[in-house]
Amino acid sequence: MKHNTLPQKTMPQMLAQNAERIGDNTAIRQKEYGIWTATSWKTYFGRSCDIAHGLRAFGIRKGSHIAVLSENRIEWVLAQMGAGINGAVTVGVYPTSPVNEVRYVLEHSRAEIVICEDEEQLDKVVEILSDLPSLRHIVVIETKGIRAYPGDIVKTFEKLEAIGSAQRKSEPGHVESSLAVQDLDDVAMMIYTSGSTGKPKGAMLSWRNLRAEAFAIQEMLAISERDCHLSYLPLCHVAEQMFTTMGPIYLGSRVDFGESLRTVQQDLREVAPTTFLGVPRIWEKLHSSIQIGLIEAGGLRRKIHDRGVMACGKFANIPRNRRTFAQRLTLQFYYWLVFRALQNFIGLRKSRLAYTGAAPISPSIVHYFRTIGVPLVELYGATETTGIVLGQSLDHLIPGSVGEAAPNAEVTIGENGELLVRGETVFCGYYRDDQATRQAIRAGWLHTGDVVEQIDGQFRIIDRLKDIMITAGGKNLSPSEIENTIKASPYIKECVVVAERRNYVAALIQIDGEVVGKWAEEQKIPYTTYRSLVENPRVAALIDGEVRRHNASLANVAQVRKFHLLVKELDHDDDEVTATMKIRRANIQQKYSAQIEALYA
């Protein structure tokens, strides 16, 4: 394993060093009302110190837990770093979480303070206040509509920062003394797992874990001070923490916070980031938006696009420096003709590297973006590995793989095909769950729960160990592989495979309402609601054709023989998907059991 050459410092200690070393450089940009406001490293650290003092005035000490219930914004990381300066642990809560999930995380984590973004999030906490004996204060970032709440427990973020600023002047040595006693093995944050098969577990990550992951990012992705990243995926997920806190604070890159989740595509065009992380759902959405644009553009432009994709797709996986002159010329021709406009449309023309991870993705989606010139690579990681532990390189692309191991991680394959990981990125354990910790880490090896195989020295993820299905004929199938193959269709948003102890594979399919709706308009098919669109026989025929087309790339036994179209979209509030949009397979199969049985009648 390669030795970690980053400074032996916690993230708050590194933030202090950045304020001294590159203090005037821009660390963060925040967009509000259409205007980007820059924050230097010096100001980032200074405001974090004020928050640290403010939290201390509210009783937060080393080992305390503070929760953040907000979309990504500068206050999120200021709270995180302020808590970190005090030696407190930050717990992220998904802003899309319904009340019952907020209750579980706040109660289980024993959070003493929760920082809410606005009145909507505040209402969730107030509703369950009597169930949270550890909670002492609620801090709200956006103050609109909060005057009616009791001031003894509800404070504004502005007030917290002002109190801290005053305290900092009266106790000038607190930050220095707190930073001096920090240890890399102290717990820095807790990230709750998605909970796709049960209650979420609180994974404890130490400063040592975060530093090790920053080194992996540096070595595998070459992140540096020249890079900028748009932060939009939830910060309570380890993937976004990698690129918003770990990488930037240890490596000096810039972070941009957009206006909101609704403006991500516009923000991307304005930021033109050098690196971009998208979970498969994001890449599928970008792919769908391109398809909608092509439908609207008309026949000629679509024909040029399709010819370009066919011509350039043949060498999309060949490293750029190994392409022939003819291949480079072909790409340049279609770049200026159509691909450049597509890259501008999705805001990724200046990206030197784009990533997908956190869930399986259809190889055809990856291949499409590489074909149009987006340098997309697959990464593999988990909450318990503090982020990426496997990753592809543009110099050696094997389609369908997730690349090789990080230089500071040991990986091996267990007897049952499970990926095992050892190294400094392996988490400290699950909070208040020793049994689950013992099951996860055995003899120093983290058991990831993912079945893998090796292809020419690189790893391919087959599926979750618990999700592998065995047909009535005894054939092992990977549902996610089948689902992602079918979801490569721009008309299909979600696919849930059924095959366990069955004679053939069937599926529940959710259409992409936006793309299918645009197709229906072009075909002069009238509809009024999502349900009326789904129930149109011509839509059923369209999806049947798409399933047949994509079945061709699957083994005969894995092909979807029958499917049922869902008349409503799968929803987090209905417990059908997690906050990260992972399907809750058992819940869905139970809810739609009648429809599933009809597929086998």
- Per-residue pLDDT of 5-48, as tens digits, reads 999 999 999 999 999 999 999 999 999 988 999 999 999 999 99
Q: Look at residue 232 in the predicted model and tell me its pLDDT.
A: 93
Number of domains in the chain: 3
Which amino acid makes up residue 286? L
First to last CA, the chain: 55
Contacts of 369 (CB under 8 A, 6+ apart): 283, 286, 287, 354, 376
Closest to 346 in 3D by CA, of 281, 289, 307, 295: 289
Whether residue 488 sits in one domain with residue 454: no
What residues does 37 pair with on adjacent strands? 30
CA angle 461, 465, 469 (to 5 degrees): 100
Which amino acid makes up residue 125? V
**Rounded CA separation 576/567 (Å):** 14
Could you tell me the pLDDT band of residue 197, with boundaries at 50, 70 and 90? low
Q: Which segment of 416-420, 422-426, 466-470, 528-532 scores lowest on mean pLDDT?
A: 466-470
| Residue 35, in any domain of the structure | yes
Q: What is the DSSP string of 176-192?
A: HHHHHT--TTSEEEEEE
| Residue 258, in any domain of the structure | no
Once rounded to an integer, what is the mean pLDDT over residues 148-177?
90
Find tokens 């990724």 and name the residue. Answer: 348
Cα 219–chain centre separation: 21
**Rounded CA separation 60/288 (Å):** 46
Whether residue 459 sits in one domain with residue 490: no
Whether residue 584 sits in one domain with residue 441: no
Contacts of 310 (CB under 8 A, 6+ apart): none
**Rounded CA separation 91/493 (Å):** 31
pLDDT per residue over 222-255, tens digit each? 999 999 999 999 999 999 999 999 999 999 999 9
| Residue 296, in any domain of the structure | yes
- Last residue of a domain, which of 416, 438, 464? 464
| Residue 220, in any domain of the structure | no
Whether residue 440 sits in one domain with residue 485: no
Tell me the residue range of the domain where 490 lies.
Answer: 469-600
- Three-class secondary structure of residue 350 per DSSP: coil
- Last residue of a domain, which of 418, 441, 464? 464
Q: Look at residue 262 in the predicted model and tell me its pLDDT.
A: 84
CB of 487 closer than 8 Å to CB of 547: no
Whether residue 484 sits in one domain with residue 456: no
Backbone angles phi, psi at 470, to 5 degrees: -115, 120
**Rounded CA separation 386/212 (Å):** 9
**Rounded CA separation 588/570 (Å):** 9
Tokens of 441: 């880490």
Whether residue 490 sits in one domain with residue 460: no
Averaged pLDDT score across all residues of the chain? 93
Q: Look at residue 144 in the predicted model and tell me its pLDDT.
A: 87
Find tokens 């990260």 and name the residue. Answer: 580
Q: Look at residue 196 in the predicted model and tell me its pLDDT.
A: 65
CB of 141 closer than 8 Å to CB of 135: no
Whether residue 543 sits in one domain with residue 500: yes
- Last residue of a domain, which of 431, 464, 497? 464
Higher local confidence (pLDDT), 455 or 446: 446
Q: Look at residue 145 in the predicted model and tell me its pLDDT.
A: 79
| Residue 245, in any domain of the structure | no
| Residue 175, in any domain of the structure | yes
Whether residue 513 sits in one domain with residue 446: no
Whether residue 581 sits in one domain with residue 555: yes
Could you tell me the pLDDT band of residue 260, with boundaries at 50, 70 and 90? confident
| Residue 251, in any domain of the structure | no
**Rounded CA separation 270/276 (Å):** 13
Could you tell me the pLDDT band of residue 397, with boundaries at 50, 70 and 90? confident
| Residue 372, in any domain of the structure | yes
CATH of the domain at 186: 3.40.50.12780
Whether residue 429 sits in one domain with residue 306: yes
**Rounded CA separation 223/391 (Å):** 14
Q: Look at residue 280 in the predicted model and tell me its pLDDT.
A: 87
Whether residue 581 sits in one domain with residue 509: yes
From residue 241, give the alpha-carbon distance in Å to each of 167, 233, 388, 493, 584.
29, 9, 11, 27, 24
From residue 521, give the alpha-carbon distance in Å to each of 292, 294, 514, 529.
11, 14, 11, 13
Q: What is the 3-state secondary structure (H, E, C) of 467-529?
A: HCEECCCCCEECHHHHHHHHCCCCCEEEEEEECCCCCCEEEEEEECHHHHHHHHHHCCCCCCC
Find tokens 């709750």 and name the residue. Answer: 192
Whether residue 156 sits in one domain with residue 31: yes
Burial of 537 from C-beta contacts in 10 A (0-12 / 13-18 / 19+) = exposed
